[in-house]
Amino acid sequence: MSLLRLAWSYYCQRIILPMASLGIALGIGVLFTVFGVFNGFLSEMENSIRAVSGDVNLEIPREAAQTESDYRRWFEDVDELATSTPQLQWFGLIGRRGSRAIDDPRTADLSGVMLLGVDPLELPFTATKSGLPPMQVGVPLAQKLGLEIGDAVEIVTHRLSRGQPVPMRQSFEYTANYSTGRFDQDLDRVFVRRSDLAKISGTQPQMSHWILGAADGVSAEQLALALKDRLDRANLNPLDYPHIRTWHAVGGNFLRAAENQKGILTVVFGFIVLVAAYQLIATLLLTVAEKRRDIGILAALGASPWRVSTFFVGLSLVISSIGISLGLLLGWWLTRNLSIVESWLGGGKTIFREEIYKFDHIPVAVDLQMVVTMVGITLLTSTLFSLLPAWRAARTRIITSLQRR
């Protein structure tokens, strides 16, 4: 009988060894699921930020003298730039047309929104039947206001007249909805035509931001540096110089906090694997104590101390490998059936509410490199933790072992 078959025989005969595998499986399954969800959360957040702000966002000073054609001419000299889209952003309050809330902006029935003025080529707008300017509203906001396609909505905002804000109201027709998958963005942003928003706001030029996309293989930081170099060569007045921000900077403290949290979770949940591996020491030490007679017989048949110690390291690898395999299967099932798990945990009620977690679904992104690293560290830890029991087994004396009953 080979030592591998003997190890498998030990594993099948003693319930404590499969239980050790189960402990490792639970640790791996939890790690797989947590990191899959957290990576998905970060990935969805980054994608949603880039969808709104691009790889690089240029904020144009309100009183800047440069025109849209000036910026397009400068962009032609930036090889790192792939796409450039002008956008006009303006703040306002939104409510149903005809609602009494419109007449009293202090009411809680009004919702503050960011009006995003875009060109029809970037976001097609459906023609309206009422003759009002079209507007696209996020699904959560439409549900909050009780809007249906074709309803008229009214915006309370201000217009710049000779540099001074003048209160005004403008009606739009709700022609379509959109969904980015991120709750907070869909709740506080609406899209209108840039030309319509420019008439309302009275801004010149008709843009406040440029949404820029990097070329293939170019990072947002590289594009930002190239843009800064080109704008520096334009000799702009300091008051006209745009504010350059990468998508990571647009994400701000919330994105950085989420990324830092990932590092903390790595440490915290790493201890789960350490605890599971630590109990492997107790399991193997108990096995060595109970199998002293078997160890003595192996030594009497010619097994060297090195071979005996290798046997127990191999037994540790059998326990760990089975635990890792079961853990990966458990983690894969959990990440594919999170809605079922959520229903079990919440008694049929929603636990991951989109108002809190920002997204209307539970995002999952499995990182293959993370999985390989997790498996490698678990195997390495289990091997290191098995050296003490293996050393104890190798030091067992033949005569003493054979005398034990």
pLDDT in tens, 319-328: 888 888 999 9
Burial class of residue 222 in the structure, from the number of CB atoms within 10 Å of its CB (0-12 exposed, 13-18 middle, 19+ buried) = middle
Instruction: Count how many residues are written for the chain.
Output: 405
Q: Which residues contact 107 (CB under 8 A, 6 or more apart)?
A: 100, 101
User: pLDDT tens digits for 1-42?
Assistant: 466 676 677 777 778 788 888 888 888 888 888 888 888 888
Arithmetic mean of pLDDT over the chain: 80
The angle that helices 305-336 and 387-394 make with each other, rounded to 10 degrees, is 150
Rounded distance between C-alpha atoms, residue 192 and residue 355, angstroms: 25
Q: Summarize the confidence of residues 252-269 as an average pLDDT.
A: 74
Q: Is the pLDDT of residue 349 over 80?
A: no
Which has the closest alpha carbon to 339: 330, 352, 329, 325? 352
* Contact criterion met (CB below 8 Å) for 186 and 178: yes
The pLDDT score that the predictor gives to residue 137 is: 92
User: pLDDT tens digits for 75-95?
Assistant: 999 999 999 999 999 999 888
Rounded distance between C-alpha atoms, residue 366 and residue 32, angstroms: 8
The amino acid at residue 201 is S
**Whole-number percent of the chain with pLDDT over 90:** 20
Q: Is the pLDDT of residue 158 over 70?
A: yes
Phi, psi dihedral angles at 189 (to 5 degrees): -135, 135
User: pLDDT tens digits for 180-215?
Assistant: 777 878 888 999 999 899 888 877 767 889 999 999
- What are the domain boundaries of the chain? 3-47+253-403, 61-241
Residue 160 — very low, low, confident or very high, per pLDDT cuts 50/70/90?
Answer: confident
The pLDDT score that the predictor gives to residue 286 is: 66
Residue 297 — very low, low, confident or very high, per pLDDT cuts 50/70/90?
Answer: low
Residue 302 — very low, low, confident or very high, per pLDDT cuts 50/70/90?
Answer: low
List the beta bridge partners of residue 19.
none
User: pLDDT tens digits for 133-154?
Assistant: 999 998 888 888 888 898 889 8
List the beta bridge partners of residue 246.
56
Distances (CA, A) of 215 to 25, 56, 209, 226, 247: 43, 12, 19, 12, 15
The pLDDT score that the predictor gives to residue 402 is: 47
The pLDDT score that the predictor gives to residue 401 is: 47
Helices (H), 54-151: 68-75, 139-145
**pLDDT higher for 295 or 326?**
326
